[in-house]
Amino acid sequence: MRFTDFLFGTVWNPDAYGQPQYGLLPNLWGTFLTSFLAMLIALPSGIFGALFLSERIAGRWRLGIKTLVELFAGFPSVVIGFLGLTIVAPLISKLFNVPSGIGVLNASLILALMALPTIISISDDALRAVPNSFREASYALGASKWQTSVKVVLPAAKFGVMAASLLGFGRAVGETMAVLMVAGNAPIIAKSLFDPTRTITTTIAIELGEVASNTTHFYTLFTLGLVLFLISLFVNLLSMFIQKKEREILL
C-alpha cells in the first residue's frame, strides 16, 4: 500500500476480500465533523456561561457552581455515552423522524457536553484575570454590567477564551468511549447529520484489539494514532502560544 493511498483514500475497509483499503479520509472527516459541530454548540453556551459565572455571580454561589462545573469534567465518558445512547438517541429519532438517533448529530451533542466544562472553567479564569480598572472605567462611562461584560471584559480576555476554545476542541477530538457508543461507527464520509460516522479514536479502539501483529492493518492503526497525536500536539501548542500572548498583554 502506498502512503498516498492512505492519505487520500476515501474507503476504510481492512477486511475487504482481495485488496483491503485503508483510506484516512473517512476517519479524519468523522473526527473533524463531529468536533466542529460540537464546538458550534459548545462555544456560545460555554462563553456565555463563563461570562455569567465570572461577572454576575459572586461568593459561595460562584464557588459552588465553579466546583460543579469542574467536577462534571471528571465524569466517566462511558456514563455520558450511555446517556447519549438511552436518552439523546430516542429524542433525536422522535424529533426528526429518523429511524435511528445514532449518528453525527448525537456524537456532536455529546462532545459539546463534554467540552463545555473545559471551555467554561478556562474562560472564567481568563475573564477573572482582566483588571478591575477595565470594569470601573466602563461603569464610569455609563455602561451597564452586561455591556461591560460583553464589550469590555470579553474582548480583553479574548486570548484566554481562544485558548479555552482550542482546549475544548482538543477534548472533543481525543474522546473515544462516548463517541464509540453514539456515532454509529460506520467508516464512511457522512453527508447528513443523521448518518453514522467513525472517528480516528473509535477506529483504533474497535480494531486494534483484534488485528494481527506486524500486518499492514496493524501498522496503519498506529499511523492513525500518529495523526491523532499530531493534531492534539498542534492544538495544544497553539493554545499555549495564545495563553503566552494573553499573559504578555495583561502584564
pLDDT digits (tens, 9 = 90+) for 92-145: 999 999 988 999 999 999 999 999 999 999 999 989 988 899 999 999 999 988
Right CATH for 3-250 from 3.40.50.970, 1.10.3720.10, 3.30.1390.10, 3.30.1300.10 = 1.10.3720.10
Residue 100 has a pLDDT of 87
Taking the C-alpha atoms of residue 191 and residue 218, their distance in angstroms, rounded to an integer, is 28
pLDDT tens sequence across 34-87? 999 999 999 999 999 999 999 888 888 888 988 899 888 888 899 999 999 999
Q: Any idea what the Cα angle at residue 115 is, between residues 231 and 205, rounded to 5°?
A: 55
pLDDT tier at 251, thresholds 50, 70, 90:
low
Q: Which residues face 18 on adjacent strands?
A: none
Domain range summary for the chain, segments of one domain joined by +: 3-250
From the number of C-beta atoms within 10 Å of its C-beta (0-12, 13-18, 19+), residue 129 rates as: middle
Percent of the chain whose pLDDT exceeds 90: 66
Helix pair 158-174, 104-128: axis angle to 10 deg: 150
Instruction: Please provide the average confidence, as pLDDT, over all residues in the chain.
Output: 91
**Residue 191: exposure state from Cβ atoms within 10 A (0-12, 13-18, ≥19):** exposed
